[in-house]
């Protein structure tokens, strides 16, 4: 079992994350914690100094964090996005597609379950924040540019 699952090779940010409002009020903070309901678009002007964005999942039924990760990646954020809280192993594949690259669940994952979850779907059907190529594009590369 692992407490934190990380899919990055760069150094782990070592400072604690602060709330979004505190992060925006400071110029020396590099790690921010996004709570359910926070608008990550507020980070756009300071993405260059942001090393880690922790997105909290208070309950697994609350999917707003998926959108937060996707919006961050669409804004060009390349730093670490960590899912924290009530994160279920069943959702890892989809969370990775949205842009999450590390996980600190309330209940540690079993690595056999992680491997099974991440290898369950060999193909994807639409583009996302990851680099996976949709199956239609693999089948019909001539249609990619119209």
The structure tokens 């608008």 sit at 39
Which pLDDT value is given to residue 135?
92
Place of tokens 């699952």: 5
Q: Of 65, 71, 24, which is closest to residue 45 (Cα–Cα)?
A: 24
Average pLDDT of adjacent 10-residue blocks, the chain of 146 residues: 83 93 95 96 96 93 91 96 96 95 95 95 90 90 74
The class of domain 5-143 in CATH terms is alpha beta
**Amino acid 143: pLDDT:** 78
What residue segments make up the domains of the chain, in order of their start? 5-143
- E-assigned strand segments in the chain: 5-6, 18-19, 31-34, 52-57, 80-85, 102-105
Task: Name residues whose C-beta falls within 8 Å of residue 92's C-beta, 6 or more positions apart in sequence.
Answer: 103, 109, 114, 117, 118
Residue 146: predicted pLDDT: 57
Q: What is the pLDDT of residue 115?
A: 95
């Amino acid at each position: 079992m692992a407490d934190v699952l990380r899919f990055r090779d760069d150094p782990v940010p070592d400072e604690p994350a602060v709330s979004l409002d505190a992060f925006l009020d400071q110029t020396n903070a590099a790690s921010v914690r996004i709570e359910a309901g926070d608008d990550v678009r507020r980070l756009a002007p300071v993405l260059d100094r942001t090393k880690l964005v922790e997105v909290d999942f208070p309950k697994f039924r609350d999917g707003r964090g998926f959108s937060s990760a996707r919006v961050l990646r669409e804004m060009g954020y390349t730093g670490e996005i960590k899912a924290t809280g009530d994160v279920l192993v069943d959702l890892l594949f989809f969370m990775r597609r949205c842009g999450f690259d590390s996980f600190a669940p309330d209940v540690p994952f079993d690595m056999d379950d992680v491997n099974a979850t991440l290898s369950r779907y060999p193909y994807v059907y639409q583009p996302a924040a990851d680099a996976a190529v949709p199956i239609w594009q693999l089948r019909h590369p001539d249609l990619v540019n119209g």
